[in-house]
Amino acid sequence: MNSIFIIAEAGVNHNGDINIAKKMIDNAVLCGVDAIKFQTFNANNLVTKDAKQAKYQINNLKEETSQLEMLKKLELSHDQYKDLKKYCEEKNIIFLSSPFDLESIEFLDSIEMKIFKIPSSEIDNVPYLRKIAMLKKKVILSSGMSNLSDIEFALDTLRTGGTEDIVVLHCNTDYPTKMEDVNLKAMETIRKAFKTPVGYSDHTSGIEVAIAAAALGATVIEKHFTLDRNMIGPDHKASLEPFELRNMVIAIRNIEIALGNGIKHQTLSEKVNSIVGRKSLVAKVHIKANEVFTEKNLCIKRPGTGVSPKNWDYVIGKKAKRDFQKDELIDL
C-alpha cells in the first residue's frame, strides 16, 4: 500500500447500474488509486418517506423529489455488491463501501470487507458506531458537519467497543465545497487533539485542495469521481472525471516523493551544481610566492573547486606558498 491511501469515491455515481459501476472500477484502476468506494444502503432503512433532498441534490437532479425516491433509484442489491467486490479483486483494487444502516454493516462484514469507511452522517449514530466497533476492523471516519466534540464522541464510542485502528478524515459536506469553507488546517487540529492519523475527504471542484492535503500530512485522501460530469445524479457535478482523477493521483505521488525525509543535506544532483554555482578564493592580481594574502589581492569567483570563501578570514594574512597568476584559484 502506498503511504497515502487514495480512495476513488464512486458513491452512487453508478446511477443504480452495475455496468456503469464496473466501468468506474476499470477507470479507477487506470487512474492508479488504491481503492474504489461505493455506498451500501437500504433506502427504507435510511430515510423516512418525507425526508427532503439537500439543495445541491435538487440542483443536480433538476427535479425535487423525496430522498426516498431518489435513493431507491440508486440502490444496488447485495448480489450486485458481491459481484463488484469480486470484480475489484480480479482487477487488483481494494473494494470499499460505506454502510448507511445496520443491515448494510452486517452484509459488508459477511463479504469480508477489510476496511470500514464511516460516512459523516453517521458520526453520532451510537448503535451504528458500536456495531462497527465490534468488528475490530480498520476504520476510516469522515467528520463533515462536525466539531471536535462530535469527533471525540465517535472515537470514544469506537474505542470503547474495541476498535483502535482509526483514521479521521477532515471533510466538508457541501457539494462542491467553497474554498473559504475548506478549512484544511483543521486536519492538523484533529491530529493534535486526538493523536490519530488524519486524512481528507475532498468535495471541492478541482484537485488542488487534495494535493495540498497530501503536503500537509494526510494519510488518506478520498475524492468523488464520475465517468461523465454531465450525467444526471446527485453527486456528478462535484466529481472528477477520470483524466482529472489520474492527474490528482500523479500529483499526490509526486508530492509524496518531494516531501522527502526532512533531513537537510546536499543531494547527489546538487553536488555537480555546487562545483559550477559556488565560488572559490581567486588571485585578484599576480601574487608572488611568500607575498601575504590580503583583501586587495584576493577575490571570490566561480567555480567552486578551490578553497571555499568560508575560509576567507583564515586565509587573509597567510603567505602564498607559490606564485599565482591573476584569476588563478589559490591553494594553501
Res 139: pLDDT: 99
Res 69: pLDDT: 84
The backbone torsions φ and ψ at residue 34, rounded to the nearest 5 degrees and listed phi first, read: -85, -35
- Global model pTM greater than 0.85: yes
Res 62: pLDDT: 62
Are the beta carbons of 141 and 155 closer than 8 angstroms?
Answer: yes
Find, among 18, 34, 22, 55, the residue nearest to 223 by Cα: 34
Are the beta carbons of 13 and 233 closer than 8 angstroms?
Answer: yes
For residue 155, how far is the Cα from the chain centroid? 21
The backbone torsions φ and ψ at residue 136, rounded to the nearest 5 degrees and listed phi first, read: 55, 40
The backbone torsions φ and ψ at residue 221, rounded to the nearest 5 degrees and listed phi first, read: -130, 130
CA atoms of 109 and 216, how far apart (whole Å): 33
Buried b (16+ CB within 10 A) or exposed e, 64-103: eebbbebbeebbbeeebbeebbebbeeeebbbbbbbbbbe
Tell me the three-class secondary structure of the chain, residue by residue: CCCCEEEEEEECCCCCCHHHHHHHHHHHHHHCCCEEEEEECCHHHHCCCCCECCHHHHHHHCCCCEHHHHHHCCCCCHHHHHHHHHHHHHCCCEEEEEECCHHHHHHHHHCCCCEEEECHHHCCCHHHHHHHHHHCCEEEEECCCCCHHHHHHHHHHHHHCCCCCEEEEEECCCCCCCHHHCCCCHHHHHHHHHCCCEEEEECCCCCHHHHHHHHCCCCEEEEEECCCCCCCCCCHHHCECHHHHHHHHHHHHHHHHHHCCCCCCCCHHHHHHHHHHCCEEEECCCECCCCECCCCCEEEECCCCCCCHHHHHHHCCCECCCCECCCCECCC
What string of pLDDT tens digits covers the 332 residues of the chain? 459 999 999 999 999 999 999 999 999 999 999 999 999 999 998 999 888 777 667 666 667 778 888 888 899 999 999 999 999 999 999 999 999 999 999 999 999 999 999 999 999 999 999 999 999 999 999 999 999 999 999 999 999 999 999 999 999 999 999 999 999 999 999 999 999 999 999 999 999 999 999 999 999 999 999 999 999 988 999 999 999 999 999 999 999 999 999 999 999 999 999 999 999 999 999 999 999 999 999 999 999 999 999 999 999 999 999 999 999 999 99
Ranges of each domain in the chain: 5-259, 268-315
Res 61: pLDDT: 65
The backbone torsions φ and ψ at residue 270, rounded to the nearest 5 degrees and listed phi first, read: -80, -25
Domain 5-259 bears CATH identifier 3.30.565.10: no
Residues in the chain: 332
The backbone torsions φ and ψ at residue 140, rounded to the nearest 5 degrees and listed phi first, read: -115, 120
The backbone torsions φ and ψ at residue 112, rounded to the nearest 5 degrees and listed phi first, read: 65, 40
